[in-house]
Amino acid sequence: METYLQFMLLGLGSGVIFAGLALGLVLTYRASGVVNFAHGAIAMYSTYIFSSLVDDGQYPIPPLPNLLSMIEAVLGWFGIQVDLPDIPPFVQLGDPWSWPMALIGALATAGLLGFLFHYLVFRPLRYQPPLSKVVASVGLMLMLQAAIVVRFSNRPRNVAGLLPQDGVDVLGTTVPADRFYLLAAILVATALLYLVFQRTKFGIKTRAAAENEQFATLLGISADRIAAVNWILAGILAGLVGILAAPITGLNPLNMTLFIIPALGAALVARFQSFWIAVWVGLAIGAGQSLLQIMEIRLPWIPDINLSQGLPLVVIAVAMMARGQVLPSRGAIERGRLPMALPTRIRPRLMTFWILFAAAILIWAPFVWRQATINTLIGAVLALSLIVVTGFSGHISLAQLSLAGIAAFMLSSLATDAGWPFPLAPIFAALVATGFGIVIGVPALRVRGASLAIITLAAGVAIEVFLFKSDGWFAGDSTRHVADPSLFGIEFGPNSPFFFGDGKVPSPAFGLFVLFMFTLAFVAVIRLRQSMLGEQMLALRANERAAAAAGVNVTSIKLAAFGIASFLAGIGGTLTAYKFGTFNMASFGVLGSLSVFAFSYLGGIATVSGSLYAGSLFPESIGTLAFEKLFFPLGRYEAYLAGLFLIVTTLVQPEGIDVFDRRERRRIGWGFVLLWRKATGNPDRTKPDWVERIYPEPKHKKGMRPSPPATVDAATTHEDGGS
């Protein structure tokens, strides 16, 4: 019995991190209505700063785009070798710092991060729908995490402990004293926050602004300034929690970033409102995980399957199913709209041209380009899956790559172990992924927006720890082999012989197979967009209640969206597995899912052709290969840049590259048309109708508008996301 108690008390260490992060999550949500997925990353980042200052007296400079290296590369094209200065990775600030100074330095950084998040990202996004905010905070999470990997690598780092660790005897067991100091600290912090929010004028103003920003403005309260102060507070809190608890949990770029998941669970139970509930639940999750760990070891009847890792998912799922739409909405005006889902059609000649072009590259181009094309196409299939679920039906799913992983695993079991023939094995594997996807989609029946992002993220983690990890249900220690696909005696795997070419892996035969599969998926998604089902998904995305009122069966459409998306993800997973010839869980991790989401959003989440842009952003794809050939190798910067571009995209071009490209192309094209008409003396022909549609009227400048009396009310100018 003592052992169990001891483990529960030990678990308070991680519990304090969850509780502290949950506290910060509640704070930022109440201050600005943002669910900050990057909150754990702030803690991680500041802890690295602290550790670097204490150990080496160095302050890491975040990786910045260095235009000079771009110039170096461009000059390199002309054979000119120059060596322009690089931005140094660290600033040396004297000898290793004493810990109080380092703590101040790190917390200042954390506060600054909080402020910058608010000022540069979430303030500009304040009128945008929740999707944009989730995307931006996922981008921040990726970016901070990648920044630390670039600077400090992936290795775990030892952090100097600030709290005494000598044992304390409690109820017959011995527990390190730091657990109790941490517990006391977090409870004091909670009490302070609670008092500030209940008693001080600042607290009342924060609550007022959360309820209705416009009314607050009328009273001279700047919701913006209040949010900024709270963001700074939350940042500092995250930094403090990370630094104090790092000796207990260990520090690497990933673990503290992902502590956000149990913290999100705790914050959800607290409905992102109550500080106390968030903290108690956070502590309970920590203690419960620790308890489950020892029970798995001690009690033979408990299966040894990392149950403790699943606890956050259970908490999140129960909280959501029990409370439905748990996030209270914020009284802010929502003017932004979702990315435009442009109508689409199949253009046979254009498609034939590109297919032949891709086939030509696959057959004749050098090996690196062949490989890049294959990666691009597989990436595009994965992006198509997100286009269906997020772009069309408006549900954020952060678990798509995990679903792809399930299909990849099933493929290795079915095709290699059980010897199923080719078309059956991958189809069945994708169907299994579909099943899992529909299960993940069930919470979507009750929750939307940020809440759904949270639960899918937790599901992705659960799939990783339960199924893929070395002692999980699926993977096992050995690498799982995946046999090359073949049909009627013709092999088309990466190692298959091809009548032409250099004979390197992957073979052109596999490339053509991937091209075929991609084309099928692409046409299928275009058909979906044109179909009634696609229209209903868009209706759902625009306004769920209105869609339901108009006779759309919300439940079945949602599940259909998740099902179709998961099937596509499954196809993407089987293609990945074929490509490697093995099932390797490292290719299907949670961060991978986030990156896939990022790339898909960047490429254009709501248009089918956006998938090709998305595919070109994947690692080792055509786009990245071209960039590396032209400028400099991306290497570890890839994830960092992806995060950065994701944030920039949400801010300046929320529609993604595809819509931007189409619009600009048409604008340029329209310019040529006008020139030509001028030249031929016929300038006054009316514009074709798509000009109005694609290229709306420019914003009206200062001065009065000579129009008939307008009776438009503010409320009716809100546009929905449909097209």
Partner 1 sequence: MSERVLTIEEMAAGYDNVAVVRDVTMHVDRGEVVALLGPNGAGKTTTLGAISGIVRLFGGSINILGQDVPKLRSAYLVGQWGVVHVPEKRGLFFQLTVEENLKLAPRLESGNTDEAYELFPALKALRNRMAGTLSGGEQQMLALGRGLLAQPDLLMVDEMSLGLAPVIYEELMPLVRKVADETNAAVLLVEQHTDLALAQADRAYVLSHGDLVLQGKASDLLRDRHLIDEAYLGAEALDQDPAVAGSPAADEAEAPGE
Contact footprint for partner 1 (CB under 8 A): 201, 204-205, 207-208, 211-212, 214-222, 697, 699-700, 702-705, 707, 709-714, 717
Give yes or no for a contact between 338 and 131, defined as CB atoms under 8 angstroms apart: yes
CA dihedral 335, 340, 341, 342 (to 10 degrees): 140
Bridge partner residues of 487 (DSSP): 490
Place of tokens 């801010």: 651
Between 95 and 697, CB nearer to partner 1: 697
Between 194 and 516, CB nearer to partner 1: 194
Q: Is 271 exposed, middle or buried (0-12, 13-18, 19+ CB in 10 A)?
A: middle
What the block records as the tokens of 573 is: 């997973």
Least distance to partner 1, CB of residue 340, Å: 17
Place of tokens 């200065």: 85
Three-state DSSP string of 612-653: HHHHCCCCCCHHHHHHHHHCCCCCCHHHHHHHHHHHHHHHHC
Give yes or no for a contact between 331 and 30, defined as CB atoms under 8 angstroms apart: no
Least distance to partner 1, CB of residue 134, Å: 25
- Which are the contacts of 38, defined by CB distance < 8 A and separation ≥ 6? 117, 137, 138, 140, 141, 144, 260
Name the 3-class secondary structure at 170: strand
Between 217 and 553, CB nearer to partner 1: 217
Name the 3-class secondary structure at 438: helix
Bridge partner residues of 170 (DSSP): 173
Least distance to partner 1, CB of residue 334, Å: 14
Least distance to partner 1, CB of residue 712, Å: 5
Least distance to partner 1, CB of residue 671, Å: 23
Least distance to partner 1, CB of residue 270, Å: 16
Between 211 and 692, CB nearer to partner 1: 211
Give yes or no for a contact between 569 and 403, defined as CB atoms under 8 angstroms apart: yes
Between 128 and 416, CB nearer to partner 1: 128
Least distance to partner 1, CB of residue 127, Å: 12
Give yes or no for a contact between 603 and 519, defined as CB atoms under 8 angstroms apart: no
Distances (CA, A) of 610 to 352, 383, 394: 18, 8, 16
Least distance to partner 1, CB of residue 522, Å: 37
Please name the helix (run of DSSP H) or strand (run of DSSP E) that holds residue 58, with its range, or none. Answer: strand 58-60
Between 166 and 697, CB nearer to partner 1: 697
Q: Give the CA angle between residues 64, 65, 70 to the nearest 5°.
A: 145
- Which are the contacts of 100, defined by CB distance < 8 A and separation ≥ 6? none
Between 327 and 453, CB nearer to partner 1: 327
Between 477 and 697, CB nearer to partner 1: 697
Distances (CA, A) of 716 to 64, 132, 214, 526, 609: 43, 22, 17, 32, 32
Least distance to partner 1, CB of residue 220, Å: 3
Q: What does the buried/exposed string (b/e) look like for 274-288 if buried means 16 or more CB atoms within 10 Å of the residue's CB?
A: bbebbbbbbbbbbbb
Least distance to partner 1, CB of residue 215, Å: 4
Between 179 and 205, CB nearer to partner 1: 205
Q: Is 351 exposed, middle or buried (0-12, 13-18, 19+ CB in 10 A)?
A: middle
Between 205 and 541, CB nearer to partner 1: 205
What the block records as the tokens of 557 is: 């459409």
Least distance to partner 1, CB of residue 228, Å: 14
Bridge partner residues of 491 (DSSP): 486
Least distance to partner 1, CB of residue 209, Å: 9
Name the 3-class secondary structure at 607: coil
φ, ψ of residue 608 to 5 degrees: the values are -65, -40
Between 199 and 504, CB nearer to partner 1: 199
Least distance to partner 1, CB of residue 225, Å: 8
Between 112 and 208, CB nearer to partner 1: 208
Give yes or no for a contact between 276 and 267, defined as CB atoms under 8 angstroms apart: no
Q: Give the CA angle between residues 492, 496, 498 to the nearest 5°.
A: 90
How far apart, in whole angstroms, are the C-alpha atoms of residue 454 and residue 303? 27
Between 345 and 700, CB nearer to partner 1: 700
